[in-house]
Amino acid sequence: MQADDKCIPQQKQEGVSTSGGSQRSVPDGWPFKKAKDLIDARQAVKINFDPSAEEYNMRHKRRGVALIINHVNFKNMATRTGSIKDTEDLKVSLDKLGFDVRVCPKDPTVKTITTVLQSTATEDHTDADCLIVVAMSHGESGLLHSTDSLYPVDMLWAPFTGDRCSSLAGKPKLFFIQACRGMQLDKGVKVMHETDSKRTTYTIPAYADIMVAYSTYDGFYSWRNPDSGSWFIQALCEELELHGRSRDLLSLMTFVNRRVAIEYQSYVPGSEKFHGKKQIPSIVSMLTRLVYFHDKHTPDDIDNGSKGKGTEVEKVT
């Protein structure tokens, strides 16, 4: 197994999934008022959904952009073998859900990443349901490695907050991070199973409607198989293929967690330190509604922004 971090020994190792089959792998107190009572000069952004709706409006003309950033080769760290398969599988899974899948140039520098993110953020997403950004690299707590230097993980979503990207305000912005977040190893715990409709104006937080799914808990290794890809991305693709159109996203991510937690375990018999280790993804959600990727059927099912009463949402400044 390989962990997505620079600290893994440079040697050929073996990995196994507990679901069966052996395969080569690598360890990758102020006073307050209700918002409706506050009046200021913030700019209102029109979005087409009922504030009381339990689901996000996913009936726009386009599903939206899915941007994949994959770091494979580094100057002073191990090559992330197997990550190309993650990219290819993500492209297939996200394309089936109707996303405009874009892959950032291979092994991008921080400058390239910044340019691509800013360019995407300045596009008009008015007729799109949502946004996805996937980043795969070596990492540390709060940081990701690029070809030339480190960059903060929050750089990925900073350009897309409601106050900076108005055409995505009130829409789900989803970020998936495949990278180590530290050097700790999860030994796991043995368990035993025993059978027994009007226009309104209101203000939303700038960081609302964001979900960040990390491949591992803060401070821990993230694992990747050089042949079959990373545990987290592969589990995500499997769940998207099976239930991407039927389950809401947070429920789906719960089952991604389960797949990673139960079906995978490192197999490195030559290293007591890295053998038999586990992994659990960590989901941080600021979503305010349910996300469903239902199929888009007919033009009547599509809300292009010209029909119905809109809701004006004020950008937080």
Higher pLDDT, residue 32 or 174: 174
Mean pLDDT computed over 291-311: 62
Q: Give yes or no for residue 295 having a pLDDT over 70.
A: yes
Kindly state whether residue 279 falls inside one of the protein's structural domains: yes
Kindly state whether residue 41 falls inside one of the protein's structural domains: no
The CATH number covering residue 181 comes to 3.40.50.1460
Kindly state whether residue 39 falls inside one of the protein's structural domains: no
Residues annotated as catalytic are: 138, 180
C-alpha span between 218 and 186 (Å, rounded)? 11
How many structural domains are present in the chain?
A: 1
Higher pLDDT, residue 169 or 13: 169
Cβ contacts of 36 within 8 Å, gap of 6 or more? 202
What domain range is 249 assigned to? Answer: 50-187+205-286
* Of the candidate ranges 76-80, 93-97, 132-136, 228-232, the one whose mean pLDDT is the lowest: 76-80
Kindly state whether residue 45 falls inside one of the protein's structural domains: no
1 band by pLDDT with thresholds 50, 70 and 90? low
Burial (Cβ within 10 Å: 0-12, 13-18, ≥19) of residue 1: buried
CB-CB contact of 93 with 240 (8 Å): yes
Kindly state whether residue 298 falls inside one of the protein's structural domains: no
Kindly state whether residue 199 falls inside one of the protein's structural domains: no
Tokens 């480190």 -> residue: 150
313 band by pLDDT with thresholds 50, 70 and 90? very low
pLDDT of residue 8: 44
Mean pLDDT computed over 177-194: 80
> For the segment 100-154, what is each residue's pLDDT rounded down to a tens digit?
999 999 899 999 999 999 999 999 999 999 999 999 999 999 999 999 999 999 9
Kindly state whether residue 5 falls inside one of the protein's structural domains: no
Kindly state whether residue 109 falls inside one of the protein's structural domains: yes
